[in-house]
Amino acid sequence: MYREMMRIRILENRISEEFVHQEMRTPLHSSVGQEAVAVGVCMNLNQDDVIYSNHRGHGHYIAKGGNMGRLVAELYNKSGGCSRGWGGSMHIMDVGAGVGLTSSIVGGSVPIATGCAMGLKIKKKPNVAVAFLGDGASEEGNVYESICFAKVRKLPIVYVCENNKYAMYTAMEKREPSEHIADKFRSILHTEIIDGNDVEEVYTVMEKAVAKARHDGEPSFVECKTYRLSNHYEASYSEDFWYRPKEEWEEWKKRCPIEQIKEKILSENAENTEKLEEIERLVRKEVADAFSFAGNSPYPDRKELYSI
Amino acid sequence: MIREEADFILPENAYGEEAAYTEILNDTLCQMMDADESVILFGEGINDKVALFGVTTGLAGKYGEERVFDVPLSESALMGIAAGAALEGLRPVFFHNRPDFILLAMDQFANHATKYRYMSGGIHRVPMVIWAAIGKGWGAAAQHSQSLQSVFAHFPGCKVVMPTTPFDGKGLLVSALMDEMPVVILEHRELLRKSGVVPKELYRIGMGKGVLRRKGDDFTVVADSVMVDEAMKAAGILEDKGISVDVIDIRSIKPWDKEIVLRSVKKTGRLLVADTAWHMCNFGAEVIATVYEEAFSHMRAPAIRVDYPDIAVPAGWTLEEEFYTGYGKIVEKIMESVKI
Ligand SMILES: Cc1ncc(C[n+]2csc(CCOP(=O)(O)OP(=O)(O)O)c2C)c(N)n1
Ligand SMILES: [Mg+2]
């Protein structure tokens, strides 16, 4: 779990560092701070299970086993990119790893994920679909429609809501009738409200939700309380503290999902320090390799524009 | 085996018994569902007594509710659900009573279903069919009688067809169910009342192939949907006045058969497009622009559009009569044009 979260953290941080060179010409939404959700969810999934995610999708893609080099190449608009240079950061996919193409229309991939679950069911496959969505996305009508449909048709799907309290720069209180997103869906399907920064909690709750979906066709809605420590996206006007209080950010920084699990691992056995350092070293190497892969990949042939 | 349209050159009545258009569509769906397990059908009221004018009557009984099912009134999500199922290897047909209701689903149609092929760098295919029947008359009014072909056709990554005969209805439905892109089939309620005699076996009509319904030398009329019948009526009247008309049933809006139109216009030098849509940015404008781009020197008179005024469809029958243009207007415009 630690390794998987570090893969996301170190990758996202490197992306933010490299962003200043303006060579990744695509809107980049970092998921730093939310790694526990991606990892806790995806560790319950098989390769043939399918996830659908959103504009903030790098973490989900990596956690589900998407190829890192091809992701970075996609951010650099290269032909070796996972969407061959057509998708950019907001439209990433890895069919072999069960990562469905992400949508940048907020809430937009939720019906697609629901249809995927329907396809899995009709084709009698033993797989489940997971739809990742934000707190903002939960305000879209498509989400309500999809969830009702999944319940009626008994689809093998779990809706995972990452409630990071903000939709761009607008806080929950200005948009939501209740402090919990799940309250809106409680009367429709099974809901859970959990600490999305505790990767073990995410893992255990999801284990049950995935099993319900897989074996009983019983969909669930899991609200994970979390926080993005990064900006909404990489842009100069996205600077942190004009739309959210610094104290709030600091509070959540103390609850960083990676620091939490690290502390726990070390408290169990102080000798684990070396192991963790080794993991970090290997992850840094993997990320560096992904950037070299992207660097070596050519831009697509311009004539490819007409080839699809 | 699925045959091609061109295999059938026999006179219509050589194929067997006459059947209703809707029965023919129903039968075609059965044949396609037998041939391809991945075909599934859903839509509001698909299994009720009306069963979309009879197009889906009895199909749930035959194929089970897993493959043919009624749905909640959630047009928007269901459009995406169809796309998601298509990405998983199914071939969904999403039925709508009227195209007006698809407007609720435009995000999932235009931003998702039509885009996944592109956004995935060509890796994904989204084989799905969206079916609707255009309404007209009996006070259907502003929100129940819209012809939205140009709206759908605007987006890259889809196809739009408007069959006008049972023969084409069957052939285009087969093609749509074999296509790799989302295909919008816009039937028309008036046309669904027709009956015809069609080959029992499966055949397809190439997407983007128009057909010459009537031959003439003096004028080219390109028409879609119910306007084809209006154009045929007009051509009969004009014949008596000594004007002979090529009537092209365009059948497919996107892609559309440029060649058949250009060939005719190069012969006649005159063009009228009769389109069941509003004047602004309609398919007729597209045809005329293309003819001016590619055959300008052959034109002997300005091209003409007969279509609907930039006004919502009224309910009352007197206003309705004034709103809908048809063969009378086509005759009048062509007479004016040849006088010049
Ligand atoms: C339909 C739609 N409306 C608005 C936007 C602009 N937009 C991009 S991200 C975003 C916020 C989404 O918030 P949330 O779902 O909570 O996800 P988060 O960014 O917090 O991960 C908005 C409004 C969009 N992309 N799509
Ligand atoms: Mg949010």
A104 pocket-lining for ligand 1 (C-beta < 6 Å)? yes
On whether the CB atoms of residues B215 and B246 are closer than 8 A, the answer is yes
Contact A103 B121 (CB under 8 A): no
B172 with B262, same domain: the answer is no
The answer as to whether B49 is a domain residue is: yes
pLDDT at B286: 98
* Residue nearest atom 3 of ligand 1, based on CA coordinates: A106
Whether residues B63 and B189 share a domain: the answer is yes
Catalytic residue annotation of B? 144
Residue B251 structural domain:
211-335
Residue B218 within any structural domain of the chain: yes
Kindly state whether residues B181 and B47 are assigned to the same domain: yes
Say whether both B49 and B150 belong to one domain.
Answer: yes
Q: Answer yes or no: do B180 and B253 share one domain.
A: no
Q: What is the pLDDT of residues A256-265, one digit of tens each?
A: 999 999 999 9
Residue closest to A118 by CA, chosen among A160, A162, A151: A151
Cβ A106 under 6 angstroms from ligand 1: yes
pLDDT band at A228 (very low <50, low <70, confident <90, very high): very high
Other CB atoms closer than 10 Å to residue B125's CB: what's the count?
15
pLDDT over 90 (residue B4): no
What is the residue-wise DSSP string for B277-317? Answer: EESTT-HHHHHHHHHHHHHGGG-SS--EEEEE-SSPPPSSH
The reply to whether B200 and B152 lie within a common domain is yes
CA dist list (Å): A241 to A55, A228, A231, A247, B269: 22, 13, 10, 9, 68
Residues B170, B21 share a domain:
yes
Query: Quick check: A235 pLDDT over 90?
Result: no
pLDDT of residue B13 exceeding 70, the answer is no
User: Per-residue confidence at B8, pLDDT binned at 50, 70, 90?
Assistant: confident
- Predicted pLDDT at B9: 65
Q: Which residue do the tokens 């994920």 mark? A: A113
pLDDT at B12: 61
Is residue B198 domain-shared with residue B218, that is, in the same domain?
A: no
Flag whether pLDDT at B232 surpasses 90. yes
Min distance A274 CA to chain B CA atoms (Å)? 41
Nearest Cβ partner for A111 among B40, B66, B81: B81
Mean pLDDT of chain B: 95
**pLDDT for B138:** 86
Contacts of B4 (CB under 8 A, 6+ apart): B203, B204, B206
Identify the pLDDT of residue B14. Answer: 64
Of the candidates B150, B174, B204, which is a domain's last residue? Answer: B204
Residue keyed to tokens 């893609």: A61
A-B CB pairs within 8 A amount to 134
CATH number where B34 lies? 3.40.50.970
Q: Tell me if A118 and B122 make a contact (CB, 8 A cut-off).
A: no
**What is the mean predicted confidence (pLDDT) over B186-199?**
95
Confidence of residue A273 (pLDDT cuts 50, 70, 90): very high
Write the CATH number for B245. Answer: 3.40.50.920
Distance A131 CA to ligand 2 centre (A): 15
* Per-chain mean pLDDT for chain A: 96
The predicted pLDDT at position B16 comes to: 77
Same domain assignment for residues B38 and B150: yes
ipTM, two decimals: 0.93
* C-alpha distance from A144 to closest chain B C-alpha (Å): 9
Residues B289 and B157 in one domain: no
Does B11 contact chain A (CB < 8 Å)? Answer: no
Whether B145 is in a domain gets the answer yes
The reply to whether B87 falls in a domain is yes
B195 and B216 belong to one structural domain: no
- Residue B203's DSSP bridge partners are B3
What mean pLDDT is predicted for residues A40-63?
98
Is the domain of B193 the same as that of B258? no
According to the model, what pLDDT value does residue A282 have?
98
Write out the two tokens for B319: 């206003």
Of A91, A119, A148, nearest to B90 by CB-CB distance is A119
Q: Decide: B278 and B310 in contact? Cβ < 8 Å.
A: yes
Distance A107 CA to ligand 1 centre (A): 8
- The whole-number pLDDT of residue B176 equals 98
What domains, with CATH codes, occur in chain A? 2-294 (3.40.50.970)
Q: Look at residue A237 in the predicted model and tell me its pLDDT.
A: 65
Q: What's the pLDDT tens digit per position in B23-48?
A: 999 999 999 999 999 999 999 999 99
Domain tally, chain B: 2
Q: Which residues of A touch B121 (CB under 8 A)?
A: 81, 83-87, 308
Q: Is the CB of A37 under 6 A from ligand 1?
A: no
Domain endpoint, select from B204, B226, B251: B204
Is residue B3 a part of any domain in this protein?
Answer: no
Out of B146, B180, B204, a domain closes at B204
The arithmetic mean of pLDDT across residues B153-182, rounded, is 97
What pLDDT digit, counting tens, does each position of A10-32 carry? 999 999 999 989 899 999 999 99
Q: Please list every residue in chain B whose beta carbon sits closer than 8 Å to the beta carbon of residue A124.
A: none
Report percent pLDDT > 90 for chain A.
94
The predicted pLDDT at position B6 comes to: 76
Give the span between the Cα atoms of A87 and A95, in whole angstroms. Answer: 14
Residue A70, pLDDT above cutoff 90: yes
Q: Please choose, from the candidates A10, A27, A4, the residue with its C-alpha nearest in 3D space to the C-alpha of residue A235.
A: A27
Domain membership of residue B149 (yes or no) is yes
